[in-house]
Amino acid sequence: MQEMLNEYIVEQALIVIPVLLVLGTFIKSTPKIKDWTIPYILLVLGVLFTVALMGFNVDAIIQGVLVSGAAVFSNQLYKQAKNKDVA
């Protein structure tokens, strides 16, 4: 997984992944926000953060999509590993 991250996501944008994971945890604990909207919120935040880091260009937007996907994917891997005995 680390090689894949380094191959597609620039080092400058890697810091956004843990930020999005933490924000996703806080958003999930907000009762008025439905769970299905969290990935969309994280996508918008990821793009905004990478644009702030890298400037407004196509590469920054692509990096925002990639880091958002990595954060949501990481969260799902954690949840699946934690709950593997349940199913």
Whether residue 87 lies inside any domain: the answer is no
Q: Is the pLDDT of residue 87 over 60?
A: no
Give the domain range for residue 41: 2-82
pLDDT tens per residue, range 39-63: 999 999 999 999 999 999 999 999 9
Look at the chain and report how many structural domains it folds into.
1
Q: Is the pLDDT of residue 64 over 60?
A: yes
Which residues does 60 contact at the CB level (< 8 Å), separation at least 6?
47, 50, 51, 53, 54
pLDDT of res. 84: 76
Whether residue 62 lies inside any domain: the answer is yes
pTM of the predicted model as reported, rounded to 2 decimal places: 0.85
- 82 by DSSP, 3-state: which? helix
